[in-house]
Each structure stands twice: as structure tokens, then as C-alpha cells.
Structure 1
Amino acid sequence: MSKAPKNTEAKQGSEDLEARLVSLRAEIDEIMAALAEKAQAEAEEATQSAADTAEDIGEEVLKEARRALKQIHKQANSLEKTLGVQTRANPLQTLLIAFGAGFVVSLLMTRR
């Protein structure tokens, strides 16, 4: 008769351990799910932050490009005015320079 109570106690202890093990596995699954959710939220936040930074940098580059384009446009207008004044002041010299440049370019083109 002493075997029966020990057997039931061992069986009950084993069932308790199994129940605890199932409970621990459930807790571990919950913790893993919470960690995965937190990691995904942080990844989304980092992605959004990187996208915002890239957008800000893109806007700055665009502003700088526009400023540079305006500056180039101003310089081109100034050069055009200067050339116009020089051409009107020295029409023969301008014509000779244009002829000479065209002649040199034509020589270079025929040597290819």
C-alpha cells in the first residue's frame, strides 16, 4: 500500500511540473511577442526618422540648386550685356575674333 500513495504523489508532482512548464512557455511566448512588437515599432520609427531626414536633405539640396541656378542666370545675363556692349563698341574686332574661332574649330574638326 505504500507504493500507491508515492505513485500518486509522483504523478501529481509531475503534473504540477508540466502545468508550470506550460505556464512558463505561455509567458515566454507573450514576452517574445511583446519584444517583437516593440522591435517592429522601433524599426518603423527609425525608418520614418530616416525618411524625414532624407526629405529634409533633399529639400536643402533643391534650395541650393535653385540658388546656384539663379546665380548662373545672373552671371549669364551680365556676360550677355558685356558682350553686347563690347560688340557695339568694337564690331570689326568682334567679327575677326568670331571668324578666327570658327576657322580654328573647323581645322580641328577636319583633322579627325
Structure 2
Amino acid sequence: MLGVIPSIVRTWKSSNCVAGYDWSTIRCFGSTGEASNVDEYLWLMGRACYKPVIEYCGGTEIGGGFVSGSLLQAQSLAAFSTPAMGCSLYILGSNGLPIVSTNQAHLLF
């Protein structure tokens, strides 16, 4: 696994500084820290035979997160597919009460 942030991928792509590197042993990428860009991550995946990029969001500086990608689910580039392990998410209505919870994750993602 290779951990990346979107700004380094943007720099690699624009400068072509990684041309000629062998990325064949990378099994997947992990991305966190900033908003991702579909075109840049498609370029990144192309370096490693289109291995997936797993997104991770929330609290990365303390080792925790809110939403993530997963190798067990279909993924979309620059998007999340599931609440992070151990996390309960709720969408609150205008009355402050939950209208969607992690138990209804199929509605969230």
C-alpha cells in the first residue's frame, strides 16, 4: 500500500517526475488529508495497473476517521463507500433528531 495525499499526486502528474518507476508491486493506495480529484487519481491508478485508491476522511492527525473506502465494496474515485470501522453516523433532521443512521448505510452511500 502506498499512502498519498492529493497534492503530491497533482505534483507527480504535472511534473512527470515519476515517469519510468515500477509501480507493479503496489496493491492499493491510501489517500487522506485533502479533497481528492478524480482525474488525478485515475492517472495515479494507471501507474499501478489500476489498483484502487482507498479514501479515508476525518481525524487523520489522531488516527481516527469518519468515512472511508473499502476493498470489500465497489468504489468510486475520490469518494467514500462506508462509515469508518467502529463509527456510527447520523444525518439529523431540522428537528435535531436522526433521520438516517449507520444502520441504514445503504441510504448514506
TM-score by length of 1: 0.19
- Greater fraction strand: 2
- Greater fraction helix: 1
Relative contact order: is structure 1 or structure 2 higher (C-alpha 8 Å, sep ≥ 6)? 2
Structure of higher CA gyration radius? 1
TM-score by length of 2: 0.19
